[in-house]
Chains A and B, each alone.
Chain A
């Protein structure tokens, strides 16, 4: 890539929400005034110590942060190379990293006087986190979820309903995360006067990719401090799975200007990159969808193609715009793992460490299984264990017993 290297990889986006050519604000006029209001509210909140203090209080006492940085001794021994640390985001309240971002957005919504919260969800982790914080703060919550995902992630549907949220199964298009996002945008356009759209990943129109990144950066900031405390230095590599890419961006961003740190994002290769998959960078090209320009899976006419992943949370034909930029500029290496590789990693981590990962971070573990053995024993590798696998137990159980594919 013949792109000039910037002085810092952490200064983006520009004031129009662009990371290089990526990002932007490609939305209907109805939404533009609210998006500008949101940008203003976020800028003010960021500069308000009371906002930060209140958020830190909830992060400590409600979410349970900091999450541990755990040395995975048996996985390290098994792979025989790099020393592997797991950033235990699955131990957060609600069981994934999603809560970090939702807390921030719900506090912004309260600041803006919005009483109704909508969200899209794939695996249901973002939906559960949103339903949880809406319950906590007494807000109405509507979650859009593809009908296919409602089927394969039943435990999370039940959780959202127990928390008082309305789950709307989306029947349009491919009935997965992309369509849930379309339907959430349609709701937002219709109810813009009282509704806050709590986007679950580092995508969508500016300022969402930035504010979600900022709320998730606590993952990388904690990791940096914890690694310093345990090993007295920076890690040598970072690995995280990517659907839209919020857990990855949260881990990566604080390290982007540390050139000694190798960074790997892992997309979902589904049945394989020559077949149905969800790897936007490996198999896509730049296009415009859901408010931003980014790498997308599409045909020659610019029609969006169906993604496929065993993991509902990665089953999306796009990726956050800042990831597209980090790919083009060469700071982050984007790899991919197939459904089968993720399933093998899911089982390996469960049996070696007694930790059942969600299918999403199982993709990251799958690439650790390739990367770690090739690295020396003093190489420090951090994997973001972004969610726990309870929600996937019925689906994986069926697959392993040969009931379904």
Chain B
């Protein structure tokens, strides 16, 4: 099976450049604004969209994304509405890959089989579920692959060569390398250290490798894009969104543009990267 993710990475490889992957939280700060933000991302230069599923207890996320999730939940966001948002986005865009990222409990409660069917129908291409390591592949990973969705795994600095084959065994789409041992929004990793890690993972897989955590600026996005197949930015976009809100945390006329403008600047950074020869 070929998903929009596979098609997009194949096209980028022909262009000879890395992907720019954006993360925003579904429903932050409200459903309508969030849909408009997601619609604006491809136009501003995002190659792949990661859409966060809000959860009360995001144990791998820093304060910015925790707060984004709570804003979305306060505005009434649910997993069902997240899938509605994807369906609405797909009315105008049938090309840009979209990955849902979050924690397992909302999916488990929704019902795994129903969720996979509904996600596929809505136009979701892949899943990144932070609290499902390969040891729990029976839960969602294997059913997702059968349902035609990519299951994108996180590899981290603590994933050593002995463990990598297990981590990569049932994965598809791309590999998300978490550049630091830490939570989202933490300090940036050194691009050279990241380059070594990417080279190490490449010895085990042919999948594209995108790198995230700690990338906030066009310069940093560019430096990573020179070492990997994609740069992922999340917290910086979520912060730009938050800074555009009014005192009560509601969207203003500036909110969609604030995210789009930073996306455009970061995309320029990624596109300026000189990719290392394969």
Contacts and interface: CB of A to CB of B under 8 A. Distances in A.
Interface of A: 16, 24-34, 172-173, 178-179, 182, 185-186, 189-193, 287-291, 293, 296, 298, 300-304
18 contacts: A26-B104, A28-B130, A28-B133, A29-B153, A29-B178, A30-B158, A33-B158, A33-B159, A172-B63, A172-B66, A182-B57, A182-B58, A182-B59, A190-B183, A191-B181, A290-B59, A298-B105, A303-B56
B203 to A, nearest CB: 18
B66 A33 contact: no
Contacts of A289: 57, 105
A25 B159 contact: no
Interface string B28-59: 00000000000000000000000000111111
B160 A304 contact: no
B179 to A, nearest CB: 11
A201 B107 CA distance: 26
A186 B60 contact: yes
Given A287-B105, A302-B110, A304-B56, A29 B156 contact: yes
Contacts of A293: 108
B201 to A, nearest CB: 12
Nearest to B82: A301
B224 to A, nearest CB: 19
Given A24-B135, A186-B183, 8 more contacts: A27-B131, A29-B154, A29-B156, A31-B158, A182-B59, A189-B60, A287-B108, A301-B106
B178 A30 contact: yes
A26 B66 CA distance: 19
Contacts of A304: 56-57, 105
A395 to B, nearest CB: 26
Q: How large is the interface on B (under 10, 10 to 19, 20 to 34, 35 or more residues)?
A: 35 or more
Contact of A303 (B62, B106, B107): B106
Contacts of B130: 28
A296 B156 CA distance: 29
A87 to B, nearest CB: 33
A303 B55 contact: yes
Contact of A28 (B63, B106, B154): B154
A25 B133 contact: yes
Highest count of chain B CB atoms <10 Å: which of A24, A32, A33, A172: A32
B73 interface: yes
Contacts, number: 117
B96 interface: no
Given A178-B57, A303-B73, A29 B182 contact: no
Interface string B69-86: 000010000111000000
A245 B224 CA distance: 46
A304 to B, nearest CB: 5
Contacts of A32: 133-135, 158-159, 163
B86 to A, nearest CB: 16
B186 interface: yes
Interface in B137-167: 153-160, 163, 167
- Rank and list the top 4 A-B pairs by shortest CB-CB distance, nearest first: A302-B109, A302-B106, A190-B182, A30-B156
Contacts of B109: 287, 298, 300-302
Nearest to A302: B109
A190 to B, nearest CB: 4
Most A CB atoms within 10 A — which of B79, B133, B134, B159? B133
Give the one of B56, B78, B155 with max A CB within 10 A. B56
Interface string B227-259: 000000000000000000000000000000000
B154 A302 contact: no
B132 interface: yes
B92 interface: no
Given A189-B183, A190-B181, A192-B158, A28 B135 contact: no
Contacts of A24: 135-136
Contacts of B57: 173, 178-179, 182, 289-290, 304
A287 B103 CA distance: 11
Most buried by B among A33, A172, A173, A302: A302
Scoring B107, B110, B158, B186 by chain A CB atoms within 10 A of each residue's CB, the highest score goes to B158
B249 to A, nearest CB: 16
A16 B134 CA distance: 12
B159 to A, nearest CB: 6
A78 B63 CA distance: 53
B132 A189 contact: no
A289 B56 CA distance: 10
A288 B132 CA distance: 10
A26 B158 CA distance: 17
A259 B31 CA distance: 55
Contacts of B178: 29-30
